[in-house]
DNA sequence: CGTTTAATTGAGGAAAGTCAAGTGAAGTGG
DNA sequence: CCACTTCACTTGACTTTCCTCAATTAAACG
């Protein structure tokens, strides 16, 4: 499930696609951005924290005293809605950073979708490191560019009006995520449950369920169980995912 | 329409809310992040470019050789849809940066929504500056955090299912934008046309038009003309904008 | 002043939402 | 190890809302 270097951590790791270096070789490949030295420096000021599945990591509006860097597991950054639903702003994976803030307060709440291990990095120490500025700051900039693009892709996904293409795009996204992390491409693993998918796609639970059913009955995908999806008809799948007919 | 320091430019200017400095004083206020020195350094490597309303600044997939910093005007970053519609990923204003890329190619197309004046900064020169790292890199990080939050707010807005609250949130957003830039709060100015609003909200032109009509007929807002909106019933307006009943 | 582009409005249909009932799986305690 | 409880998900009937398409009206431009 997780690459080797994340299992035996040598300090925080930031994975991202370089925004400036032209494509090949290793097109679309995510690199570990930090040098051994930088990772060691960060390791000195950070601690390792663990969360059980479902644990709240912090709430919206809490004092933002630390940023986090995921070693293993999946985290959801979300906001609560007035009608007690929730909107998931992003799903974060190993190599991602979260805990950004506005005026010293977290803008989202965060919870562990799976068991999570992460580095916790105090912001004050982090700012000091950034000011003494090795190449660390450029790496952080690169990572932020990537997160920005992700947020924009998410917004794009949300403009899709029909539920089936939305779900297809979501599955596509997760397949890419898994292949770029070097895992089996034959099956997509979904670590979150249906209600999380609904909150991320801006749909109701029912709509997500029906969208799965539609794709299954059209023999475009099959589900071994609720968390394992296989793509049966790649061509139909991509047609549904990148155009908007479902 | 634009603060004075943007009219007589002393070099690129980045405006953002500090993510770490706690709220008061000047809560929610956007600062000019760059020092005189930094602005001068950036000015040396950048040129000033002008665009007429409607001009395409660059296309999706173009080689990303420069970033831009807006002096005056509004820019839309968008993607074309297969069915010849478009999705607007973000609306950019004076003090914003755009032209971020992935593997050396622009991920969005950009066009001028109003007449635009901007600094054009070659990425190679910019990278050199960042590597020689004054505090410039930290400022860029701060700005990117802000853009990330904006993208997440946009995604949040897009999860709203009814058109009226969506439009209300959009108007609210623009009111904030104008007050933080120190302009008259009595009326909201919309520099873009209805189809741009539709493309940003993920609605059809008709739906946007009807949402305006609904708010007008409920006497929540009034329109002096298509670009000037006034909020008549602040309480009703906020109820519609932050909860989801419209 | 006429032509083009932008916006409004209306009728009808498609799709997701809501509400509620029912099924399946997973975990608990006996 | 099995009955029981719980939670996650599915499915169905009905309502709401937006989209589609088309016809008009209003504004912008030469």
pLDDT digits (tens, 9 = 90+) for B148-174: 999 999 999 999 999 999 999 999 999
pLDDT at residue A3, as a whole number: 44
Q: Summarize the confidence of residues B67-90 as an average pLDDT.
A: 95
Query: Which of B96, B123, B156 is the last residue in one of the domains?
Result: B156
Residue (of B52, B54, B55, B9) closest to B32 by Cα position? B9
Is residue A35 domain-shared with residue A146, that is, in the same domain?
Answer: yes
Taking the C1' atom of every nucleotide in all shown strands and the CA of A213, the nearest one is D10
B34 and B121 housed in the same domain: yes
User: Which of the residue ranges A201-210, B79-88, B127-136 would you say has the lowest mean pLDDT?
Assistant: B127-136
The answer to whether residues A168 and A93 belong to one domain is no
| Minimum-distance nucleotide, CA of A211 to C1' | C16
Q: Could you give the CA distance from residue B51 to residue B67 in angstroms, rounded to a whole number?
A: 15
Q: In degrees rounded to 5, what are phi and psi of residue B242?
A: -95, -20
Asked which of B89, B121, B156 is the last residue of a domain, the reply is: B156
Instruction: Give the 3-state secondary structure of residue B76.
Output: strand
In this structure, what token pair is assigned to residue A140?
A: 């952080």
The Cα–Cα gap between A92 and A192 comes to 12
Q: Are residues A108 and A187 in the same domain?
A: no
Q: How many CB atoms lie within 10 A of CB B195?
A: 14
Count of residues making up chain B: 246
Residues A180 and A108 both lie in one domain? no
Report residue B74: phi and psi, to 5°: -130, 135
What CATH number is associated with residue A135? 2.60.120.10
**CA pair distance A32, B4, nearest whole angstrom:** 43
* B-chain residues near A123 (CB < 8 A): 20
Query: How close is the nearest chain A Cα to the Cα of B101, in Å?
Result: 5
Q: Which of residues 49-68 of B touch strand D (CB under 7 A)?
A: none
Q: Give chain A's end-to-end CA distance (angstroms, integer).
A: 31
Best residue of A124, A144, A160 to probe chain B, by most B CBs closer than 10 Å: A144
Question: CA-nearest residue of chain A to B239?
Answer: A82
pLDDT at residue B3 tops 50? no
| Pair B120, B48: CB distance under 8 Å | yes
Kindly report the number of other CB atoms within 10 A of residue B59's CB atom: 13
Do B81 and B9 lie in one domain? The reply is yes
- The mean pLDDT value for B218-228 works out to 96
State the pLDDT confidence band at B112, using cuts at 50, 70 and 90: very high
| pLDDT at residue A1, as a whole number | 45
Nearest beta carbon to residue B144 from set A127, A141, A158: A141
Of chain B residues 163-202, which have a beta carbon within 7 Å of strand C?
193-195
Same domain, residue pair A101 and A65: yes
Q: What is the CATH number of the domain that holds A174?
A: 1.10.10.10
pLDDT of B244: 54
Q: Is the CB of A193 under 7 A from strand D?
A: yes
Listed residues A151, A180, A204: the one ending a domain: A151
Query: What does the pLDDT read at residue B210?
Result: 98
The C1' atom of D23 and the CA atom of B77 lie apart, in whole Å, by 33
Check if residue B227 sits with its Cβ under 7 angstroms from strand C: no
Separation of CA B190 and C1' C8 in angstroms?
A: 18
Q: What is the pLDDT of residue B148?
A: 95
Which bases of strand C have any atom within 7 Å of the beta carbon of a protein residue? 6-11, 15-20, 26
- Tally the domains of chain B: 2
The pLDDT mean for chain B works out to: 90
Residue percentage of chain B with pLDDT more than 70? 91
Q: Poorest-confidence range of B18-32, B76-90, B104-118?
A: B18-32
Query: Which three-class secondary structure state does DSSP give residue A210?
Result: helix
CB A151 within 8 A of CB B151: yes
Residues A178 and A75 grouped into a single domain: no
Closest residue, chain A, to B19 (C-alpha):
A102
Q: Which has more pLDDT, B120 or B184?
A: B120
Rounded to the nearest angstrom, the minimum Cα separation between B133 and chain A is 7
What contacts 24+ positions apart, CB below 8 Å, involve B242-245?
B242/A82, B242/B169, B243/A82, B243/A83, B243/B165, B244/A81, B244/A82, B244/A83, B244/B160, B244/B161, B244/B162, B244/B165, B245/B162, B245/B165
* Predicted pLDDT of residue B123: 92
Q: Do A20 and B104 touch (CB under 8 A)?
A: yes
Cβ of B162 near strand D (under 7 Å)? The reply is yes
More confidently predicted of B49 and B10: B49
Is B141 close to A144, i.e. CB distance below 8 A?
Answer: yes
Nearest CB partner across the interface for A141, out of B103, B141, B244: B141
Give the β-pairing of A97-98 and A66-72: antiparallel
Q: Which residues of B touch A99 (CB under 8 A)?
A: none
Q: Nearest-CA neighbor of B163 among B235, B83, B244? A: B244
The kind and range of the H/E element at B50 are strand B47-51
Instruction: Return the pLDDT at B182.
Output: 73
| A13 lies in the same domain as A89 | yes
**pLDDT reported for residue A109:** 96
Instruction: Check whether residue A132 and residue A27 sit in a common domain.
Output: yes
Q: Are A197 and A226 in contact (CB under 8 A)?
A: no
Residues A206 and A225 both lie in one domain: yes
Question: Does residue B207 share a domain with residue B121?
Answer: no
Query: Does residue A208 approach strand D to less than 7 Å at its CB?
Result: yes
Tokens representing B209?
Answer: 């038009």
Domain, as residue range, for B238: 160-242
Report the range of poorest mean pLDDT among B82-86, B140-144, B236-240, B242-246.
B242-246
pLDDT below 50 — which residues of chain A?
1-7, 246
pLDDT band at B58 (very low <50, low <70, confident <90, very high): very high
pLDDT score for B44: 93
- The Cα B43–Cα B48 span in angstroms is 9
């Amino acid at each position: 499930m997780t690459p080797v270097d994340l299992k035996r951590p040598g300090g925080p790791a930031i994975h991202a696609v370089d925004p400036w270096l032209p494509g090949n070789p290793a097109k679309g490949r995510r690199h570990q951005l930090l040098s051994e030295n930088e990772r060691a420096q960060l390791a000195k000021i950070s601690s390792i924290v663990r969360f059980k599945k479902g644990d709240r990591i912090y709430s919206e509006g809490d004092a933002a005293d630390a940023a986090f860097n995921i070693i293993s597991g999946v985290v959801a950054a979300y906001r609560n809605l007035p009608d007690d639903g929730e909107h998931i702003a992003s799903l974060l994976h190993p190599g991602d950073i979260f805990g950004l803030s506005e005026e010293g307060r977290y803008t989202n709440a965060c919870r562990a979708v799976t068991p999570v291990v992460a580095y916790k990095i105090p912001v004050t120490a982090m700012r000091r490191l950034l000011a003494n500025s090795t190449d660390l700051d450029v790496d952080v900039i690169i990572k932020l560019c990537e997160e920005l693009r992700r947020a924009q892709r998410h917004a794009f996904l949300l403009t899709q009006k029909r539920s089936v293409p939305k779900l297809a795009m979501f599955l596509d996204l997760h397949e890419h995520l898994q292949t770029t992390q070097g895992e089996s491409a034959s099956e997509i693993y979904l670590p979150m449950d249906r209600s999380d998918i609904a909150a991320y796609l801006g749909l109701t639970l029912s709509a997500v369920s029906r969208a799965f059913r539609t794709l299954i009955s059209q023999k475009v995908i099959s589900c071994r169980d609720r968390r394992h999806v296989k793509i049966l008809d790649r061509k139909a799948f991509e047609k549904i995912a990148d155009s908007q007919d479902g």
